[in-house]
Amino acid sequence: MEDPLGRHYIIELYDCSHTVLDDMKTVRDTLMEAARIAGATIIGEKFHRFSPQGVSGVIVIAESHLSIHTWPELGYAALDLFTCSMDMDIRGALGLLRSSFAPGDIDVHYMERGVLNATKRRAPELLDFAPAVV
């Protein structure tokens, strides 16, 4: 089986601290540190704090990106780590993210992106499926 071009970790963080999820500096510093631990090359970043609460942020790395969107009032954050490198310390980065956000509950989905030799693919027509589920 051919390696995928990208590895995408889709992480649901539940029951986190309101204070942590609403502090843009803490959220940014945590993602930047996770990128550093992973060995990523940081290309750019954009973080934003919403009023009355919530933080969104993305770090573009040479290996793809990290993103986060937080709902402090619900203790929830949607975290994505996408890498096209096979040489990053994903374990270390996920460990830092876990310890920093200290979720009471977590769910991690792993998705391979860009599997070019996939034997089964949807037809272009099935893009129409996507809007149908909105």
Asked if 14 contacts 106 with a C-beta cutoff of 8 angstroms, the reply is yes
69 is annotated as an active-site residue: yes
Contacting a copy of itself (CB under 8 A), which of 10, 17, 18, 23? 10
Nearest approach in angstroms of CB 20 to a copy of itself is: 16
- Residue-wise burial string across 32-42, b where 16 or more C-beta atoms lie within 10 A, e elsewhere: bebbebbbbee
Is residue 96 a contact partner of residue 35, using CB atoms and an 8 Å limit? no
Question: Closest distance between a copy of itself and the C-beta of residue 112, in Å?
Answer: 9
Provide the H-helix boundaries in the chain.
Answer: 18-21, 24-38, 90-101, 129-132
Among positions 2, 3, 5, 29, the unique one binding a copy of itself when judged by CB under 8 A: 5
Site for a copy of itself in 33-92 (CB under 8 A): 43-46, 48, 50, 56-58, 60, 62, 64-65, 67, 69, 71, 74, 76, 78, 80, 82, 84, 90-91
Active site residue 84: yes
